[in-house]
Chains A and B, each alone.
Chain A
Amino acid sequence: KAGVTQTPRYLIKTRGQQVTLSCSPISGHRSVSWYQQTPGQGLQFLFEYFSETQRNKGNFPGRFSGRQFSNSRSEMNVSTLELGDSALYLCASRTVGGAEAFFGQGTRLTVV
């Protein structure tokens, strides 16, 4: 069974640009969550989607948005990029009602 797949693995963007990250969950997993990890910080929760609906949202500005498609694949978008958005963005999928989340390898975003 394939794991969680995130693309791309690495990205370099310029301040003010926007970026879209993609996540394909484990087959059969309908819940997808996104996290941001910055140096010295834990995993900060961004949002969670289930059956194409946002179920939970963390404390991030509206520049961060996401969506989920009918095949459970999810995308995350960050608009008007700032230097502080440089981070490792992680996607995790879970089964319905499951607490254990399985993570992808992440997308390393660098904003210059």
Chain B
Amino acid sequence: DQQVKQNSPSLSVQEGRISILNCDYTNSMFDYFLWYKKYPAEGPTFLISISSIKDKNEDGRFTVFLNKSAKHLSLHIVPSQPGDSAVYFCAAAQGAQKLVFGQGTRLTINP
């Protein structure tokens, strides 16, 4: 039972353009959503989060959008930079319960 899904295994974007990573969830009890970035052979690094009481949260080049009715969230990176090339995981939690992760999307930024 995959409660959090990232349907795009990979995404390729030109440097300077916008990268949009998508995530869908099925559990309507989730009330906190997070994005992590992961380089090979390293642990995931926390990027940005959003509570279910909001529909947008922004931090520099990163913006997360939450559409509760569609059970969908997205991460926008503008402008995309070569250092953004990594695997991005979305995660969801209900209160302080365990984090449930998606399968990840490999983002490649092309010069």
Contact = CB atoms under 8 A, between A and B. Distances in A.
B93 A99 contact: yes
A4 to B, nearest CB: 7
B98 A100 contact: no
A33 B96 contact: no
B98 A56 contact: yes
Chain B interface SS verdict (over half): loop
Contacts, number: 60
Interface in B57-111: 89, 91, 93, 95-104
B41 A106 contact: yes
A62 interface: no
Interface of B: 6, 32, 34, 36, 41-46, 49, 89, 91, 93, 95-104
Contact of A48 (B32, B98, B103): B98
B101 A99 contact: no
Nearest to B103: A42
Given A6-B43, A105-B41, 11 more contacts: A31-B96, A42-B6, A42-B102, A42-B103, A45-B101, A56-B97, A58-B98, A99-B32, A99-B96, A102-B46, A104-B43
